[in-house]
Amino acid sequence: MADEIETRKIMTKPLPQILDELEDSIKLADEAAKNAREAAEQARKAGEKAAGEAARVAAEAIAKVEQIASNAMQLAELLNLALRDAVVAVDKRLSGKATTKRNVPEEK
């Protein structure tokens, strides 16, 4: 029964009108495909731009971290030298006092 309705509908339209409708449908499909290709190209460009920006920001952050680490290492080296100097100074004072006490006779 559905075939009969379709057959009747097709048979009631003139062939030029059917062809015009087909042509219009093809044009709409072609335009939709063109729009989809343009949207895909824009999305690709946006993705590339976002990836480039992310890489730039990451490189800046890495450079900052490297600078901070370098500064921290320099400070640690300075602190290490200062502590060694302090230990040497304290050791000299202590060994000097011990020598002085040994050489000084005890009072009675």
The full set of domain ranges for the chain reads: 2-103
pTM of the model: 0.52
Would you say 11 and 19 are in contact if contact means Cβ atoms under 8 Å apart?
no
Residues 17 and 28: their CA atoms lie apart, in Å, by: 16
Sorted by sequence, the CB contacts under 8 Å of residue 86 that are 6+ apart come out as none
Spell out the per-residue pLDDT of the chain, length 108, in tens. Answer: 556 666 666 678 888 898 999 999 999 999 999 999 999 999 999 999 999 999 999 999 999 999 999 999 999 999 999 999 999 999 988 888 766 655 555 555
